[in-house]
Structure 1
Amino acid sequence: MTGQVAGKVALVTGGASGIGAAVAELLAREGASVVVSDVDELKGPEVVAGIKKAGGEATFLHQDVTSEPRWIEIVAEVEKRYGRLDVLVSNAGIGISVPSITDMTLEDWRRQNAINLDGVFLSVKHCLPAMRKTSTRENGGSIILMSSLAGLRGAPGLSAYSLTKGGVRLFAKSIAMECAGVGDGIRVNSVHPGIIDTPIWGKIPTEAAGRGQNAPIDPEERARFATPLARAGHAAEIAQGVLYLASDMSSYVTGSELVIDGGMNAGGVARKS
């Protein structure tokens, strides 16, 4: 541990598994007190127990990110326990794939928007005032919004998901300018993972969903052909990027997008069979 975020208090939504869990664990290992929030009341406490066993400080709070009353309670609880909030990692999100946008139900459209967009909006709306209480121009807080490579480029079958993640990208830039305009010292950036080996792939129906099935996607197989580095990324690799944005090492970075995708957004490479 090098203590890159020592003394900071961080809130990580969707922190019970995948990228969120890796982020929470790394921030705690680097000295932050971490609040892990999630709807998963089984895995969330397990993540916190692991952090504490490793000598870190963490708390689990059950949270549906689409509930505004719960956001008010979450922020109040963070301030009560730790007296401040320095880092927000708005990570909670879902992905719904359909063969065509014409196959998507309005219910699924609204559910994905509620979690991926409303949840991010509410996180910033309610965490920003708390962060401003202790943030200064010289020593400011950091808001990190989890977007996706799908927020930078089109993806067949994921048009609705891309809409939400593209919205997160521009929301981050706009809030960054808002914070810079008032001089509160808070930096706002988005992170754009590519194909990362996390449990979310088992929850995204493929084209087979149109036939009433749920065939999980193998991220490693997909990444082998789709990414220049020819492999899926790991949650810990995304967490390293988040740590950089949460730490003072990124003190001059705001309104930016950190792409961690094995080179997918840059282009493609010819492979020998």
Structure 2
Amino acid sequence: MDASKAKKLAGHVALITGGGGEIGRAIALTLAAEGASLIASDMDAQKAEETARQIREAGGKAVALGGSIADPETSIKAVDLAVTQFGKLTILVNAAATVTEDGRAEDISLEDWNRTLSVNLTGVFLACKYAMPAMRNAGDGRVVNITSQLGQIGVPLRSPYTTTKAALMQFTRCLAVDYAEFNIRANSLSPGGIDTERRMRRFSNRDEARAARGPLYLLGRLGTVHEVANATLFLVSDDASFVTGTDLLCDGGYLAFKGRTTDRD
């Protein structure tokens, strides 16, 4: 059998926003390994290029693009790149996100609130807005918006981030309803605590983060970027051909006990 035909995403072209971050890069590398040609977009152009370089060195096809997802020109350029370089666009994964400093509503500046919404919510809207026509033309589309387990619970001092993630789930459901007739599926993916450098903003080192947060999960540990990437691969592959308009929790059982696995009352 031709090895290329055995790959789950052979013939597909994917755009990954936030493709220079740890989660975005893991998703990009996983999709490329399964045969997808890829556009890696990130606010940090060097990180985007590093993702594309790793894909090319592994024998895949990838192009990098620097720019903020909150800027509509970034999405326009990314979709144009996919079509001009690879002929079409069939997969969109929105992994780009930002966070704000902790605080109650009275402590959060309007600037920080608007910045979080512009990246985490409006930016995803823009990426989808400009990707949909290309997917309609391709006759096939698979969208995954990376949300968070925290979008489903009240979280102290995290209202901007968690609000955008909750809203993103609803936007994704609406996207699925609006574009089903064009053979475009849309789902969100809600990771739990993932072992990344971003998590270190609350801890002094990774061991401290693992020790503090791991016990909150039924599986007794933080998740890995590869587990998020594999869940994304499932959603964009034909294995999930009857899955649309839903949210997939990849949270190690966190929400089953709301992060309180030691409570017995």
Q: Give unpaired runs (5+ residues) of structure 1.
A: 207-213
Which stretch has the larger CA shift, 67-76 or 23-32?
67-76
Matched residue pairs, number?
257
Please say if residues 145 and 172 of structure 1, whose CA atoms lie closer than 8 Å, have aligned partners that are also in contact. Answer: yes
- In the other structure, the counterpart of 1:154 is 154
**2:55 and 2:62 in contact (8 A); partners too:** yes
For the residue of structure 2 that corresponds to 1:93, the secondary structure is coil
Listed as ranges, the matches of 1:52-131 within 5 Å are: 52-131=56-135
Contact 2:38 2:82 in 1 (8 A): no
The 5 A counterparts of 1:1-273 are 2-135=6-139, 140-180=140-180, 183-202=181-200, 204=201, 206=202, 218-267=208-257, 268-270=260-262
- What are the ranges of 5 or more consecutive residues in structure 2 without an aligned counterpart? none
Q: Aligned to 1:35, what secondary structure does the other structure show? A: strand
* CA displacement at 1:103 relative to structure 2: 1.5
Checking the alignment, whether the CA contact within 8 Å between 2:213 and 2:222 is kept in structure 1 is: yes
Partner Cα separation in structure 2 for residue 117 and residue 17 of structure 1: 18
Residue 45 of structure 2 aligns with an amino acid whose one-letter code is E
**How far apart, in 2, do the equivalents of 1:219 and 1:238 lie?**
18
Q: Which residue of 2 aligns with 1:209?
A: none
**More displaced stretch, 75-84 vs 236-245:** 75-84
Instruction: Work out whether residues 196 and 219 of structure 1, in 8 Å CA contact, stay in contact via their aligned partners in 2.
Output: no
Amino acid at match of 1:179: Y
CA distance in 1, matches of 2:197, 2:17: 16
For residue 53 of structure 1, report the CA deviation from its aligned partner. 1.2
- Say if 1:224 and 1:232, in contact at 8 Å, map to a contact too: yes
User: Please, what is the CA RMSD of the aligned residues?
Assistant: 1.9
The answer as to whether partners of 1:17 and 1:199 remain within 8 angstroms in 2 is: no
Percent identity among equivalent residues? 36
Q: Give 3-state SS (helix, strand or coil) of 1:46's partner.
A: helix
- Residue deviations 1:202-235, cap 9 Å, x none? 3x4x5xxxxxxx9778541332231111111000
Instruction: Indicate conservation of the 8 Å contact 1:38/1:62, yes or no.
Output: yes
Q: Which residue of 2 aligns with 1:210?
A: none
Q: Within 1, Cα distance between the matches of 2:101 and 2:32?
A: 33
Equivalent residues of 1:16, 1:37 under 8 A apart: yes
Q: How far off its partner does 1:99 sit?
A: 3.6
Structure 1 residue 95: Cα displacement: 1.7
Query: Counterpart of 1:233 in structure 2: which amino acid?
Result: G
Write 1 or 2 for the structure with the bigger share of helix.
Answer: 2
Taking structure 1 as the reference length, the TM-score comes to 0.89
Provide the C-alpha distance between the structure 1 equivalents of 2:249 and 2:25, rounded to a whole number of angstroms: 19
**C-alpha separation in 2, matches of 1:239 and 1:192:** 12
What is the alpha-carbon distance in structure 1 between the residues aligned to residue 117 and residue 212 of structure 2? 26
